[in-house]
Amino acid sequence: MTPARPVALLDLDGTLMDSAAGIVASVRAAYAGVGLPAPGEDVMRSFAGPPIAWSFTTHGVPADRLDAAIAGYGEHFGREGVWDTRVFDGVPEALTTLREAGVLLVVATAKPTRWAAPICDEVGLTPLLDHLVGAPDDESQTKGDIIGRALTWVRATTGDAGYRAVMLGDREHDVHGAAEHGIPCLGALWGYGGEDELRAAGAAAVLTSPVDVPAAVLAHLAG
């Protein structure tokens, strides 16, 4: 019998890339555009990762201004913020180690594909990945929905061999989204969520550095 293919589902913002600066600038522009005071810097950094509509709603944007805030964010981010990002130190090496171990690497991000794919191209991540699944342009899907789409691709790719998977992410949405599909999630403490958030959400473990990723991913896939 062919062994099940090991799969790592990977969040993007706050896990593979530090994109906070561009996101914060675009969030600030969005609040100004709808005539609302922007929240503090720490709150705006928390917009990195979750679906943007959830973040605006959670942080004071009323329903009648939500569409305008999302549009304002998108306009600014697509023009400026999208490129203000960098890959976290140690991430390329971690991905290379996992691929050499035969792990299928699939990004599952709440960032719309129209931004996520060119960013990965620009920063050199694309050659290290097997596939990328992002949010639709209207950002209407939850993280669980996006992970589900990623797993649909995985099932089509692995076929009869099947797969065993683990998620890596920095926010509670990654943990909860993975849990919807029965997948454990490893928490990335170098991102934007923090240890308390990740443990409260039910992360299988929390990692302090990208250096820790290969061993932790392989251990959970083996278990």
> 29-65: b or e for each residue (b if 16 or more CB lie within 10 Å)?
bbbebbebebbeeeebbbbbbbbbbebbeebebeeeb
Q: How far apart are CA 158 and CA 174, in angstroms?
A: 23
The CB density around residue 1, as the number of other CB atoms within 10 Å, is 6
Helices (H), ranges, the chain: 20-33, 41-45, 52-58, 63-79, 91-100, 113-123, 143-158, 172-179, 195-201, 213-222
Q: How far apart are CA 4 and CA 129, in angstroms?
A: 19
**Which residues, at least 6 apart from 195, have a Cβ–Cβ distance to it below 8 Å?**
187, 189, 206
Q: How far apart are CA 185 and CA 74, in angstroms?
A: 29
Q: Is 11 tagged catalytic?
A: yes
Residues written for the chain: 223
Per annotation, catalytic residue among 11, 13, 170, 174: 11
**Residues taking part in catalysis:** 11
